[in-house]
Amino acid sequence: MRLSQLEVGEIGIVKEFTDLEMSVKLMEMGCLPGEEITVSRIAPLGDPIAINVSGYQLSLRKFEASTIILQ
Amino acid sequence: MKADIRVALVGNPNTGKSTLFNTLTGLNQKIGNFPGVTVDKKTGICQLPDGRMAEIIDLPGTYSLYPKSQDESIVFSILADQSNPLTPDLVVVILDATNLKRNLLLYSQVADLKIPVIIALNMVDLSKKAGITIDIDLFSKKLGVPVVPISARRKEGIDKLKAAITFANKIALQEESIDVEAIAPQLIAEISRELKLENPYYALQLAHQHETIKFISPVQSDRIEELEKEFSFHSQKAQATETIARYNFINDLLYDTVKVPETAQDETLSNKIDKVLTHKVFGFIIFFGVLLFMFQSIFSWSAYPMELIADLFVWVQNTLHHLLPAGPLTGLLVDGVIGGLSGVMVFIPQIAILFAFISILEDTGYMSRVTFMMDKLMRKVGLNGKSVVPLIGGFACAVPSIMSTRTIENWKDRMITIMVTPLVTCSARLPIYTLLIALVVPNRNVWWLFNMQGLALTGMYVFSLISAIVVAFVFKLILKGRERGYFIMELPVYRMPRWNNVAYSMYDRSKAFVLQAGKVIIAVSVILWVLASYGPGDRFARIDQKYRQPQYTQRLNADELSKAVRSEKLENSYAGVLGHVIEPVIRPLGFDWKIGIALITSFAAREVFVGTMATIYSVEGSAEKMETVQKKMKTATNPETGQPVFSLAVAFSLMMFYAFAMQCASTVAVVYRETKNWRWPTLQFAYMTVLAYVASFVAYHLLK
């Protein structure tokens, strides 16, 4: 399961990343393995999405979300 | 003023760093540039309780010492480069108490550089409200640094922070966070040995950043590169290992110092606002409503102050003309320098209002929602959600807007945004459009509701946006990206704007605009003044002689005579000669030599067009007598054909020319400054001129 497949309101826990370059940036922003992520909304045009992670809201594109694999 | 101690403010974006900076320094601020890079350097002076003076440097907000944008790269350079005269004696790291985990990443990196550091724990009022309890004493003890709880917004705890700065240690006493050496033991040891470094984290950062930082020599950089190959160092892998280690350290630290309420909170206010503001339908309606309100305000609120400034300059010019002896020097000073200066100064109200809006939109958190909503749309044409801000700003002025593209991390997106921003109808084009539209478009209503002139003007604005989007798309196909684009951005909680920050931003930006654009405009207007005031050979003397003959002096009164002299002198000045020289080129666009002069004089700044038209049609004064210019231009006829000069075709051809042509020296200068390469302003100038010529040509021949 990838983060990009979650619907609004669904929760997932980060397992690993498929892209090293992207993972470095995501981890800096608090998206680490073991961290809980909630999808809080999707932009009006369907991309990007907004997630809640480690206590704040982060937006990222669908493609970027697809590099995050959930448990 | 010589400061006794230098203090750097470091923190994540949206942590209230600027608010703290403004509170600490008040109006004692200065904006400059960090040497060698185009990042604004904000410094200010703060008096400490013991009477010493502290120089405070506000470093750009960043999430980590690994930079993602140009602005962020300065943070590591300032903190680490010992030979830099700006290297701080003390770092104040600002942490958002409502979001400690992510904020502590940057802290742990800065702490490992072993510079004396203290923590300002900001927004403690908000964290208390959210039910978060922080054991500050234990937190401070575990980190080994002073921790001062503050609320920058409410100005609470500022005195304690100042006291902490006063009594801060001169040596770094913070506890170790992670085992840095374990990340790349041999490489760190070897770099430290060869470059004689004491700090292992500094050595590791050099390994990561040696290609981009300026303060190590190419020889050193090459040597680091060799060592990396020798020890097969992989920058991204090492960074991933480091980040995970740091978050482990942070989790351990927070485990017994911070209690976040377990139960899921009720839906936050911010979330409720988001449901409306980023709604599929209302989201866009509200956004366009906000834009509309912004433009209305920029134009209507600035009208009166702009008039005042223009009047003030006219008064100064008149007074100086009376006070100083008539002569070329007075002309140069009064008409050249001060005339040019007034052209810049009248835009201050618009720029200040635009930046007030931008600062409010950013401060409240709305701007990042706009970015969020528009990203997909903008990406289709090669831009980025973050390009929305400069494009909107372009309606006021391209210069500050191009400066604001620095927040776009992706190189290609940023370049395309810079290339198309000057196409957006800026405020300098407004007087030209109003003048020309008033000349040829009848002032009557269609369908009862819409004024035809208003529609024409709106049309020009919409047209400019469309052309910017089309050109962006073309650039998207031509330019090659240097790195992968990405869009990982914090959506900060909605907050009330801090009016202090809004006021500072208005002041800062206006000042920067006057200083930067002012220099160029003054220089160019002096040159143009000379070109328009002197002519080749003895032409001017002969004109004076000609009008001294009785057939003129008897038939014309003094006023008419001086106008006739001025008009003929202009035609024979260097500028006039140039106008005649370029006439064959611009003839296909429907322009005569007089318009040619205006094209040349407004080369540096579009708004000069109206003033030049006024001079050419020998009306005294300039913009303040627009009615008269308009009348004169309306009655002007082509001596050969007897037809009016400003027909519908000519007026629209001219507007098309001004819509596309890069008639703005300040923009050229700022594009060079931002891209650090003459290729970009040259390319921009070339493509815009070609488009201007083609669009004008088409408009003229379609409407003729």
- Contact predicate B130/B158, CB 8 Å: no
Residue B415 has pLDDT above 60, yes or no: yes
What's the ipTM?
0.94
Grade residue B266 by pLDDT with cuts at 50, 70 and 90.
Answer: low
> How many contiguous H segments (helices) and E segments (strands) does chain A have?
2, 5
* E strand spans, B59-146: 90-96, 117-122, 133-134
For chain A, say whether B375 makes contact (Cβ under 8 Å). yes
For residue B43, give the CATH number of its domain.
3.40.50.300
Mean pLDDT of B539-554: 82
Residues of A in contact with B274 (CB under 8 A): 40-41, 50
Mean pLDDT of B408-417: 88
Instruction: Report the pLDDT value the prediction gives residue B625, as an integer from 0 to 100.
Output: 44
Residue B577 corresponds to which tokens in the numbers above?
């000669």
The dihedral over CA atoms of B173, B178, B179, B180, expressed in degrees to the nearest 10, equals -90
Which of B281, B493, B296 shows the shortest CA–CA distance to B373? B281
Instruction: Report the pLDDT value the prediction gives residue B38, as an integer from 0 to 100.
Output: 57
More confident residue, A25 or B39: A25
For chain A, say whether B495 makes contact (Cβ under 8 Å). no
Contact B372 A61 (CB under 8 A): no
Residue B207 has pLDDT above 80, yes or no: yes
Instruction: Report the pLDDT value the prediction gives residue B498, as an integer from 0 to 100.
Output: 84
Q: Mutate which of A28, A45, A52, A58 to test chain B, going by most B C-beta atoms within 10 A?
A: A28
| Residue whose entry in the numeric block shows the structure tokens 């809980």 | A36
pLDDT, tens digit, 9 for 90 and up, residues B299-358: 678 778 888 888 898 888 888 888 888 777 887 787 777 777 776 677 788 778 877 888
Residues of B in contact with A50 (CB under 8 A): 274, 372, 491
Contact B101 A54 (CB under 8 A): yes
CA of B123 vs chain A CAs: smallest distance (Å): 14
Grade residue B116 by pLDDT with cuts at 50, 70 and 90.
Answer: very high
- Could you tell me the residue range of the domain that residue B54 belongs to? 5-166
User: Cis before residue A48, ω within 30 degrees of 0?
Assistant: yes
Please give the interface size between A and B, counted as residue pairs whose CB atoms are below 8 Å apart. Answer: 106
Grade residue B681 by pLDDT with cuts at 50, 70 and 90.
Answer: very high
Residue B376 corresponds to which tokens in the numbers above?
């997909």
As a whole number, the mean pLDDT across chain B is: 84
Q: Within 13 Å and on the Cβ side, how many CA atoms surround B471? A: 24
Contact B243 A60 (CB under 8 A): no
Which are the contacts of B452, defined by CB distance < 8 A and separation ≥ 6? B441, B442, B443, B444, B445, B446
pLDDT, tens digit, 9 for 90 and up, residues B153-167: 888 999 999 999 998
Other residues' Cβ atoms within 10 Å of the Cβ of residue B77: 23
Q: In angstroms, what CA-CA distances link B341 with B66, B473, B632?
A: 42, 37, 26
Range of lowest pLDDT (B128-142, B290-304, B518-532): B518-532
Instruction: Report the pLDDT value the prediction gives residue B626, as an integer from 0 to 100.
Output: 46
DSSP line for B180-242: GGGTSHHHHHHHHHHTT-S-HHHHHHHHHHTTT-SSS-HHHHHHHHHHHHHTT--HHHHHHHH
Residue B245 has pLDDT above 90, yes or no: yes
Q: Which of B236, B271, B376 sits opposite A24 (nearest CB)?
A: B236
Range of lowest pLDDT (B367-376, B578-587, B615-624): B615-624
Instruction: Report the pLDDT value the prediction gives residue B37, as an integer from 0 to 100.
Output: 58
Residue B619 has pLDDT above 50, yes or no: no
For chain A, say whether B159 makes contact (Cβ under 8 Å). no
Grade residue B264 by pLDDT with cuts at 50, 70 and 90.
Answer: low
Residues of B in contact with A57 (CB under 8 A): 270, 490-493
Integer Cα distance of B344 and B605 in angstroms: 9
Q: In terms of CA atoms, which chain B residue is nearest residue A24?
A: B240
Mean pLDDT of B28-50: 75
Residue B396 has pLDDT above 80, yes or no: no
Highest mean pLDDT among B254-258, B391-395, B409-413 belongs to B254-258
Domain definitions of chain A by residue range: 3-70
Chain A positions contacting chain B at CB under 8 Å are 20-30, 32-33, 40-41, 43-48, 50, 54-61, 64
Integer Cα distance of B438 and B443 in angstroms: 7
- Contact predicate B362/B552, CB 8 Å: no
Mean pLDDT of B478-505: 84
Contact B237 A20 (CB under 8 A): yes
Is B122 among the domain residues?
yes
Contact A25 B68 (CB under 8 A): yes
Contact B64 A28 (CB under 8 A): yes
Grade residue B628 by pLDDT with cuts at 50, 70 and 90.
Answer: low
**Overall domain count for chain B:** 1
Pick one of 1.50.10.20, 2.30.30.90, 3.40.50.300, 3.20.20.60 as the CATH number of A3-70: 2.30.30.90
Residue A14 has pLDDT above 60, yes or no: yes
Q: Which of B375, B488, B492 sits opposite A43 (nearest CB)?
A: B375
Instruction: Report the pLDDT value the prediction gives residue B622, as an integer from 0 to 100.
Output: 37
Contact A57 B493 (CB under 8 A): yes
